Structure 1
Amino acid sequence: MILVWLLLVIAALFAALYIAGHRRDPRMLRNGVFLTMSLGLAGLTGIYWAALVVPGGEVVLALMVLAILVATVTLAIALIANGITMIRLEGKRLSNVLSLLAGIGIIALPVLVAFLFGLDLQHLPGLTVTIRAVASLLVLVTIYFGVAFISFAVYSVVYGITPATSRPTAIIVLGSGLINGEVPPLLRSRLDKALALYHREKLTGHRPILVPSGGQGADEPRPEATAMAEYLLSHGADAEDVHPETESRTTRENLALSQKILSSLGVEGEYLVVTNNYHVLRAASLTRQVGLPARAVGSPTARYFLPSAFIREYVAIITQYKAFNALACLPFVALVGFLLWEALQKR
């Protein structure tokens, strides 16, 4: 029972870190890690406690392990099916096959690890130990990035459903690609969300500035923000409230250049940044990095598009913090290297 209490204390510590971090700034990505660790440890504690004290707890534990395995296989199959749907509806670009690759990886990785651990090169015992060490490192690194992804996904949902409480002085709408120079469904959902927020504020006598933000891509006949502004104006936004930003190429530039426009207009206070729901957490994190006093809110996205979109956002976050993630993996490399060295010394 000592272990149960220890796990509960650690879970409570992570919960306290989450609450403090969320109150300080809900846009911090580390909040997701604290929340996930707290929930995960609390869940593991409950399972372990049940196995100890509940009659037939061992059977319950075995059934839960089986359920997790079945859920994992089901998830892999669903991701593969989603990847096929993405290819059929959106084309064969790399960003559209991420869910397919993830599903294949979930199935292939355990098979590869089992194969590596099962290798027994009797005439090359040193090589056998080295291969197993590599397999161990692969497991540890996979667990790290798996927990990081779960943290990102969980906190994306939590942040996205947390209501904004302040009244925005401006609404920034992040751009996405045009199709033949016109607003496609994905971008339309962002604009419709912004319009709903804008009209809601107008009903209270408050008129926030609308900043559609997006430059002209290499395959686009005009800046995204120009088409976005036309859409806003055609759906009831007042011309004096719409100030497009047409130079940005990335989300970070969307935010920084929109802030310049708002500063030039003398608009202060807290802003809202509208994007799609899968993009909310990374957009919020970037507002913090560029010093923009803003909260990000999400618009609906087609369900089939969400898995690949979430994975793409996660890859972008990992790439953005690649130095930190490399450092975080160094202890795994050091541990496996040390154990490998000891094993080779004994031979």
Structure 2
Amino acid sequence: MHTATAVPLIILAVTVAATVWRIRRHPRRPSNGFWLLASAGALWYATLALTSALLPVHAVSVPALIGTAPLLAGPVIVVVTGVALIANTGVVVRREGLRLATLTPAVIGVALVATVVVAAVAVYLVANDLTVLSWPARAAWNIAVLALIPGGMLIVELVAYTVYAVVYRWIPHQGDEEVIVVLGCGLVDGEVSPLLAARVDSAVAEYRARVGAGDSPLMVMSGGQGPDEDRSEAAAMADYARRRGVPADRILVEDRSTNTEENLRFTGELLEDAGYSDPSLLVVTNNFHVLRSVALSRRLRSRVSALGAPTPWYYLPSAFLREFAALVVHYRWANVVVWLVLTAVWAVPLVVM
């Protein structure tokens, strides 16, 4: 085999093998999304190399199409996604009210569209030959590149997170976890909301299936009491589950937590007090919340699988992007370091020169 085709195939094989190994070994790591993107890039590179080497000269348009299609389609997809997120914000605001959380899709949508616009400006400047442009035009080019760095990071991270969130849903949970944990998410007039009801319904269905198989798992309802609530989310969830046939003696209530990390940490403490030493957990939450939940459980060294409950279609983009934003904030220092390094790689030579 010619070196021009052997090298891309070797890169593809190594990248795919490493990706599969990481997902099997560490399925709860959101960074697996970057490995999936790397595998997709290696596949594109290998396909381009093979078509260039094997196709006759008159078919050269095929490898050219393979090589340029992602570069042409990528910006279009990003713009369409950004516009769709902005439009979705209007739907969510009408149904859920105007809050900072419901504006998240619009903020990210504007950032995506702005990144493509800045990239178009940069390409236009390059096409007009920077060596003959005036100083302001060259300065605009450098500013455009610096502005593209955070925008490019956002796009790559969002794509990686989205891809792995989809893939993770296809990874089956063990089916023999000792405890089913339902994460709270807010009440409406003291009762479970439709979103929270979907979580408890999925957990009750899983409980019934386990009982039918001869098991008797414990259930933990986890969620504290908000300032505008007359009882805790956990208490409301426990009542809801009991009305659907789950025995009261198989339900524990964790009513101190105010966020996902506390849900997991306080549940662990509650189970330890109840005599459970390092139990395996099946965390039940909505599908948009699964990946961040298991990522946090890994930091807490809990043995966790996850089950995603369905989410109303109109609410899914907003909720999913809030989870993505929360994870970006959680890894904020890693993001800052990467941004500074990339900025320095571009800016330092300009200053030195």
- TM-score normalized with structure 1 length: 0.89
Task: Report how far residue 16 of structure 1 moved.
Answer: 2.4
Query: 1:106 is matched with which residue?
Result: 112
Deviation at 1:255, TM superposition (A): 0.6
Q: Deviations over 1:141-175 (max 9, x none)?
A: 32222112111111111112211124011011000
Looking at structure 2, the residues matched to 22 and 194 of structure 1 have their Cα atoms a distance apart, in angstroms, of 25
**Which stretch has the larger CA shift, 254-263 or 131-140?**
131-140
Q: How does 1:105-144 map to 2 (within 5 A)?
A: 105-115=111-121, 128-144=137-153
Partner of 2:205: 196
Aligned-residue offset at 1:29? 2.1
Match of 2:335 among 325, 340, 345: 325
What is the aligned partner in structure 1 of residue 30 from structure 2? 29
* Counterpart residue identity of residue 102, structure 2: N
Unaligned runs of 5+ in 1: none
Q: Distance in 2 between matches of 1:45 and 1:23?
A: 24
Output the CA distance in 2 between the equivalents of 1:2 and 1:75: 39
Change (3 A) 1:331 1:8: farther
One-letter amino acid of the structure 1 residue matched with residue 95 of structure 2 = L
How has the CA–CA distance of structure 1 residues 317 and 4 changed in structure 2, closer, same or farther, with 3 Å as cutoff? Answer: farther
Q: How does 1:224-263 map to 2 (within 5 A)?
A: 224-263=233-272
Tell me how far apart the structure 2 counterparts of residues 288 and 249 of structure 1 sit (CA, whole Å). 19
Deviation at 1:34, TM superposition (A): 1.3
**Residue identity opposite 2:174 in structure 1:** T
1:286-308 CA distances to partner (integer Å, 9 max, x unpaired)?
Answer: 11111211112211111111112
Q: Distance in 2 between matches of 1:326 and 1:83?
A: 28
Q: CA deviation at 1:108?
A: 2.8
Q: Which moved more, 1:4-13 or 1:282-291?
A: 4-13
Counterpart CA distance in 2 for 1:8 and 1:145 is: 29
After superposition, what is the alpha-carbon deviation per residue over 1:69-121, rounded to whole angstroms, capped at 9, x for unaligned?
4433432332222122111111121221222233333333332444477689x
Residue 99 (structure 2) pairs with residue 90 (structure 1): no
**Equivalent in the alignment of 1:273:** 283
CA deviation vs aligned residue, 1:257-285 (integer Å, no higher than 9, x gap): 11111112223431101111111011001
2:349 paired with 1:339: yes
Cα RMSD of the aligned pairs, angstroms, is 2.6
Query: 2:314 is paired with a residue of what secondary structure?
Result: helix
Larger mean Cα displacement after TM superposition, 103-112 or 142-151: 103-112
Counterpart in 2 of 1:20?
21
Letter in 2 for 1:57: V
Whole-angstrom distance in 2 between the partners of 1:197 and 1:168: 11
Q: How far 1:59 moved relative to its partner?
A: 6.2
Q: Give the 3-state SS of the residue equivalent to 1:304 in structure 2.
A: coil
- The Cα offsets for residues 192-235 of structure 1, whole Å up to 9 and x where unpaired, read as 11001111000112111110000011121211101010001001
Alpha-carbon distance between aligned partners in 2 of 1:275 and 1:233, rounded to the nearest angstrom: 18
Match of residue 62 from structure 2: 57
Task: State whether residues 18 and 34 of structure 1, in contact with CA within 8 Å, keep that contact through their aligned partners in structure 2.
Answer: yes
Structure 2: distance between partners of 1:326 and 1:93? 27
Paired position in structure 2 for 1:315: 325
**Alignment of 1:176 onto 2:176:** no
- Gap runs ≥5 in structure 2: none
Partner Cα distance (1:8, 1:220) in 2: 58
Verify: 1:295 aligned to 2:301, yes or no: no
Q: 1:37: how far off?
A: 1.3
**Alignment-derived partner of residue 80 in structure 1:** 86
Q: Distance in 2 between matches of 1:91 and 1:215?
A: 23
- Amino acid in structure 1 at the alignment position of 2:318: S
Change (3 A) 1:290 1:80: same
Percent identity for Structure 1 against Structure 2: 34
> C-alpha separation between the residues in 2 aligned to 1:128 and 1:118?
11
CA distance in 1, matches of 2:154, 2:84: 20
> For the structure 1 residues 11 and 313, does the alpha-carbon distance in structure 2 shift closer, same or farther, using more than 3 Å as the test?
farther
Cα pair distance change 1:52/1:219, threshold 3 Å: farther
| CA displacement, residues 32-78 of structure 1 (integer Å, 9 cap, x when unaligned) | 22122112331343245446654132663456654444433432332
The answer on whether the counterparts of 1:32 and 1:154 sit within 8 Å (CA) in structure 2 is yes
CA separation of 1:49 and 1:80: change in aligned 2, threshold 3 A: farther
Residue 251 of structure 1 aligns to which amino acid in structure 2? T
Change (3 A) 1:7 1:334: farther
Q: 1:247 to 1:302 in 2, by over 3 A?
A: same
Q: Is the 8 A contact 1:51 1:60 kept in 2?
A: no
CA spacing shift, 1:59–1:6, aligned 2, 3 Å: closer
SS in 2 for 1:176: coil
Q: Which amino acid aligns with 1:22?
A: I
AA aligned to 2:310 is: P
Counterparts in 2 of 1:105 and 1:145: CA distance versus 1, 3 Å: closer
